Amino acid sequence: MTITSKLPDVGTSIFTVMSTLAAEHSAVNLSQGFPDFDTPPALIDRVFAHMRAGRNQYAPMQGVAMLRERIAAKVADLYGNPVDPDTEITITSGATEALFAAITAVVRPGDEVVVFEPAFDAYVPAIRLNGGTPVYLSMKKPDYHIDWDEVSDAIGPNTRLIIINSPHNPTGTVLSPANIAALKQIVADRDIFIVSDEVYEHIIFDGLVHESVLRDPLLYAKSFVVSSFGKTYHTTGWKIGYCVAPPPLTRELQRVHQFLTFASNTPIQWAYADIMEDASLYLGLSVFYQKKRDRFLSLLENSRFKPLPCHGTYFQMMDYSAISDLDDVAFARQMTTVHKVAAIPPSVFYHDGQDNRVLRFCFAKRDHTLEQAAEILCRI
């Protein structure tokens, strides 16, 4: 028997490739986006406590009620949106599942979906698996801004969905109030949905404010807003995310979600509900990671790498054009195998492999790790 692949051009993800290469060559791994420090001990203690309390069976399909209530309270406090925890919040097995369920809920064969590149690699496969057609628009260097006139020109009768991501992976760009106003103008009188990937909502720098679509009633009425506990609590391996959406959209998302995973890890959901009582843990995250970013940049001041603007996430884009003429994939491999520092080549986030001679480094690392990497990078 033979199988005709639905995704014939999709191979092993670049994150797996580079992390494997880093392990093989004992390289400092600044490629895949996860911390090399652990989660707060109190959170781990709460998971064990709920396991011992017998909360080890299926959670409700939409998620543990207490956790949904805590998310609703946070959304109201931060974004002024009084969402209903019973009808507008769904706990998912990671943000990636929420993204897939949201795209599946609204995209039909023949629909077009606007995608801004460089784009997180989970978006386009989900679009294609649902018969949709991605419409690619490039963010503009060096600050990776969106040209909203291009967006307006790209909208057609088959446009079903626009996917936005702020703070943006991999570039660190953050949408401004003007960006949100431009998006609102484009979708106001059209039957177009929005998937807003906001997993780095609490990692934003330089005094900027996260402009969530949850703040705007018109945009929220059309939106699936996706976030992640893994990014907030340094627990990427636990794979718990959530989606906030108006009741009609939540109902459609849950129709998909219940046949993807049905429910997510029960004791971990209870533990997150407990730790969310202390808002300082997520409200202090921007300061924590800005110190990491600033530390990393200060360590590289004497290198030949040129930093591009980064106002959010825990990724730093670095221009290496003064160092090498190699394409970014080849240079990333050379960096890992020869110099022993692993990074991600952003051309993999473009459908056409656009190469801008930059690499993406993850600075969600201990100071010792950043110092070790910087010492090497400054010698190149």
Last residue within a domain, chosen from 278, 310, 340 = 278
Both 293 and 213 in one domain: the answer is no
Last residue within a domain, chosen from 278, 299, 319 = 278
- The C-alpha atoms of residue 380 and residue 119 are separated, in whole angstroms, by 29
* Helix 65-79 vs helix 266-275: crossing angle, to nearest 10: 40
* Cβ atoms of residues 210 and 225 within 8 Å: no
Q: How many domains does the chain have?
A: 2
Question: How many percent of the chain have pLDDT more than 70?
Answer: 100
Decide if pLDDT at 1 tops 90.
no
Q: What is the CATH number of the domain that holds 300?
A: 3.90.1150.10
Both 235 and 130 in one domain: the answer is yes
Residue type for position 76:
A
pLDDT value at position 14?
85
Q: Read off the pLDDT of residues 169-206 as tens digits, 9 standing for 90 and up.
A: 999 999 999 999 999 999 999 999 999 999 999 999 99
Q: What is the mean pLDDT of residues 133-153?
A: 97
* Cβ atoms of residues 3 and 125 within 8 Å: no
Among 357, 348, 331, smallest CA distance to 122 is for: 348
Please give the residue range of the domain that contains residue 326: 14-32+284-377
Residue that is written with structure tokens 């990393």 in the block: 296
- The C-alpha atoms of residue 243 and residue 241 are separated, in whole angstroms, by 7
Both 153 and 195 in one domain: the answer is yes
Both 22 and 134 in one domain: the answer is no
The token duo for 232 is 């907030």
Both 177 and 273 in one domain: the answer is yes
Decide if pLDDT at 296 tops 90.
yes
- With respect to residue 112, please indicate whether it lies within any of the assigned structural domains: yes
- The C-alpha atoms of residue 223 and residue 246 are separated, in whole angstroms, by 8
- With respect to residue 68, please indicate whether it lies within any of the assigned structural domains: yes
Q: How many CA atoms lie within 13 A of 313 on its CB side?
A: 26
173 φ/ψ sector (left φ>0, alpha ψ -120 to 50, else beta): beta
- With respect to residue 46, please indicate whether it lies within any of the assigned structural domains: no
DSSP assignment of 317-336, as one string? EEE-TTT--S-HHHHHHHII
Q: Read off the pLDDT of residues 20-70 as tens digits, 9 standing for 90 and up.
A: 999 999 999 999 888 999 999 999 999 999 999 999 999 999 999 999 999
Last residue within a domain, chosen from 237, 263, 278 = 278
Which of 9-18, 92-101, 163-172, 259-268 has the lowest average pLDDT? 9-18
Q: What is the mean pLDDT of residues 279-292?
A: 97
Decide if pLDDT at 17 tops 90.
no
Q: Read off the pLDDT of residues 219-233 as tens digits, 9 standing for 90 and up.
A: 999 999 999 999 999
pLDDT value at position 53?
98
Both 91 and 208 in one domain: the answer is yes
Q: What is the mean pLDDT of residues 73-78?
A: 98
Q: What is the CATH number of the domain that holds 271?
A: 3.40.640.10
Q: Report which secondary-structure segment, H or E, holds 361.
A: strand 358-362
pLDDT value at position 223?
98
Both 127 and 197 in one domain: the answer is yes
DSSP assignment of 90-115, as one string? EEESSHHHHHHHHHHHH--TT-EEEE
Both 120 and 245 in one domain: the answer is yes
- With respect to residue 2, please indicate whether it lies within any of the assigned structural domains: no
